[in-house]
Structure 1
Amino acid sequence: MPFDLVLRNGRVIDPSQGIDRVVDVGFADGKVAAVADRLDSAGATVRDVTGRIVTPGLIDLHTHVYWGGTSLGIDAEMFARKSAVTTCVDTGSAGPGNFAGFRKHVIEPSAVRILPYLHVSFAGIYGFSSKIMVGEGHDIRLLAARDCLEVVEANRDLIVGIKVRLGRTASGTAGIVPLDVAEQVADQTGLPLMVHIDEPPPSYEAVVARLRPGDVLTHCFRPFPNSPVDGRGKVRLALIEARKRGVLFDIGHGMGSFSWVTARAMMDQGFPPDTISSDVHALCLEGPAHDLVTTLSKFLALGMPLADIIAAATVTAAQALRRPDLGTFKPGSAGDASILSLENGAFPLEDVRGEIVTSPQRLSARGVVIGGRWWHPQ
């Protein structure tokens, strides 16, 4: 089989197939074509990635990349180069009132795949900056079930779910009411929910109790208040019950949603996240989240096995998106790959409360393959 590109001699970690060994990965016609000990590279572009880790294209399940359309949006291609991400999942930056602009001006021109959750609020996340913080869920007049349904039906090729934000900052005195509307939209469209939770009200338990199999609770390792652990440091029963029925728990680090105290308690009690995402946006790009590889590196410091960390940003994230063509090197899947280095040293990693943990290892981005072509030139 002739290949367009061969990644040679890298340590391939593909949790979807249980692969963790040095092999070649070949791409043809924009797809993964083969994984084998030694591929015939005649006529192909060959990249020697000896000493690097090669994974299926990393999926960041929580980003904000409506650059220029919202104050919190960042440039997806810039972020992808920095973090070796091939799929940015935008989580509700746009609502039905401004989705058309997001699609035309950002998603369609992007070399990086952008898959959006549609916000149940008409204008999406419209008041989020360093100077103004207006929770879009405060005003129930903006909850736009009918408009959401129309936009989803017109954009089934892109939209992966419905986003709603709850908490004192996001929904204020409206409390859990935005979830009532978001659930109806999700039910009508057959799409999963992603639910943001910040400080109470509503409580962590009240939100988790409402979620269905396949729904995603993001910001799952929040600090107090509305932490997933109680005052005795125990994982709340509502989370354990939710995981049993198929609710997915996502990190969504951001500027306020990852605590070392919470993370240690959760990991020590056998409750790792299902997916690890950065929640990168304009206010956390320079810290404490930075990017996906930095967020992933925090789980190295917590003792999570490397293969499980990679799974949380590849195959498990793809399952949350209902996209079996992503997050894997199975032949015929999307021709995306992330090239990483695993560095040894002393790396200070900060949480949202200012606690710094020094990790002996961290992951760094070294290259990106998108659509079977070497895209990032490092």
Structure 2
Amino acid sequence: MADYDLILRGGHLIDPVQDIDAPMELAFADGKVARVSASISGTAKRVEDVSGCLITPGLIDMHTHVYWGGTSIGVAADDYAKSSAVTTLVDTGSAGPGNFAGFQAHVIDKAEARILVYLHISHAGIYAFSNRVMVGESEEMRLMDPLTALEAAKANPGTIIGIKVRLGAWTSGIHGMAPFEFALQVAEAAGLPLMVHIDDPPPSYDEVVRRLRRGDVLTHCFRPFPNAPLTGKGGVRPAVLEARRRGVIFDVGHGMSSFSVRVARQMLAHGFWPDTISSDVHTLCIEGPAFDLVTTLSKFLSLGMPLPEVIRAATQNAAAALRRPELGTLRPGTVGDASVLRLQNGMFEFEDGDKETFEGRQRLTAAGTVLGGRIWQLT
């Protein structure tokens, strides 16, 4: 009888939780991480040579839209996860309490990748965003559905990990912070964090971050002007700094037009790194400019974030934001998820949400995925 189900050999392992950044072998048994060591003896049902690759904890994409077929912006969950070496997809508001059951039955239950959900406070979630029609769901206050949202959150604690609300001129129109009040009440009653989308004002960046609590997530945190996190003089807004001290989580959420390289450069120059790096992948940005999580991570490598910190933002920090300590690490006994990545050197062109291009000297690409202790994808 084999000692392990799977051993990965020859890779360079990065696990910020364990402070590992070195050549290591990794073994899995019974769906969990079994051992991490410079050399693992014993037998395995399968041994894979991943020489020249990085091994990381299973990547967590903190902001995706994977309600394929249920919303116009949904992408196919497993196809996307494999293409970007992601093991946990966090869907952020595609579904609301009125259509969550369909999302659960037709996508979440059938997917191999893990899908966790920030449930939208709007009854039908993000129901009318496409390349032809864009109707902000938070513009219609009659769609706010706190009672059903609370019932759904309480009934599905294993899947619903937070409440989502979208604010701004494109999504809440003239109503400003009003949808936030509904979302906050549900989050407080359910004991869950909020994730808040912000676009053009109203409301302002300051108005939003001043209301967020410890553990709440502001996505699109490096969005462009107007409503950027910077003052007119280029400094970080005091309300942003205070929110970070309070424990608010700042998430990238690249998306179609929600990431500015100019803003990111200035924020990083001030020592303000994002807590979590996510793609906000959906049908309007999966073919660019966001593409996927590994491309978004690569952009932050090009901006000077050290590789271990880039990996931390999509593993340890994301798991902490989700309150799932069993994820985001390769510590023995934890969930047997790992991502195998290639780190390529050269000159690579990237594009932000304002169509501004910039160059980087390194790029991460997906080479494989281990899901529940088994090879799910290997290229």
TM-score bin (small chain): over 0.9
| TM-score normalised over the length of structure 2 | 0.99
Q: Aligned partners of 2:366, 2:253: CA distance in 1, in Å? A: 19
Match of 1:150 in 2: 151
Q: Is the 8 A contact 2:7 2:44 kept in 1?
A: no
Q: Aligned partners of 2:227, 2:3: CA distance in 1, in Å? A: 54
Match of 1:360 in 2: 361
Matches within 5 A, 1:1-378: 2-378=3-379
**How far 1:2 moved relative to its partner?**
1.2
| TM-score normalised over the length of structure 1 | 0.99
Runs of 4+ aligned structure 1 residues displaced above 2 Å come to: none
SS in structure 2 at match of 1:134:
coil
Q: Aligned partners of 1:187, 1:297: CA distance in 2, in Å? A: 36
SS in structure 1 at match of 2:288:
coil
Q: Is the 8 A contact 2:162 2:194 kept in 1?
A: yes
SS in structure 1 at match of 2:184:
helix
SS in structure 1 at match of 2:98:
coil
Q: Aligned partners of 1:157, 1:84: CA distance in 2, in Å? A: 23
AA aligned to 1:151 is A
SS in structure 2 at match of 1:4:
strand
Q: Is the 8 A contact 1:6 1:41 kept in 2?
A: no
Unaligned runs of 5+ in 1: none
**How far 1:207 moved relative to its partner?**
0.2
Q: Is the 8 A contact 1:87 1:112 kept in 2?
A: yes
Q: Is the 8 A contact 1:9 1:23 kept in 2?
A: yes
AA aligned to 2:286 is L
AA aligned to 1:189 is A
Q: Deviations over 1:107-129 (max 9, x none)?
A: 01101111011000000000110
Q: Is the 8 A contact 1:341 1:364 kept in 2?
A: yes
Q: Aligned partners of 1:370, 1:143: CA distance in 2, in Å? A: 37
Q: Aligned partners of 2:261, 2:105: CA distance in 1, in Å? A: 39
**How far 1:153 moved relative to its partner?**
1.3
Q: Is the 8 A contact 1:296 1:309 kept in 2?
A: yes
Q: Deviations over 1:295-353 (max 9, x none)?
A: 00001111000000000000100000000000001111110000001101110000111
Q: Aligned partners of 2:360, 2:38: CA distance in 1, in Å? A: 33
AA aligned to 2:173 is G
AA aligned to 2:5 is D
Matched length: 378
- Pairwise CA RMSD of aligned residues? 0.8
Q: Aligned partners of 1:139, 1:175: CA distance in 2, in Å? A: 12
SS in structure 1 at match of 2:325:
coil
Q: Aligned partners of 2:226, 2:173: CA distance in 1, in Å? A: 15
**How far 1:11 moved relative to its partner?**
0.3
Q: Percent of pairs identical after alignment?
A: 61
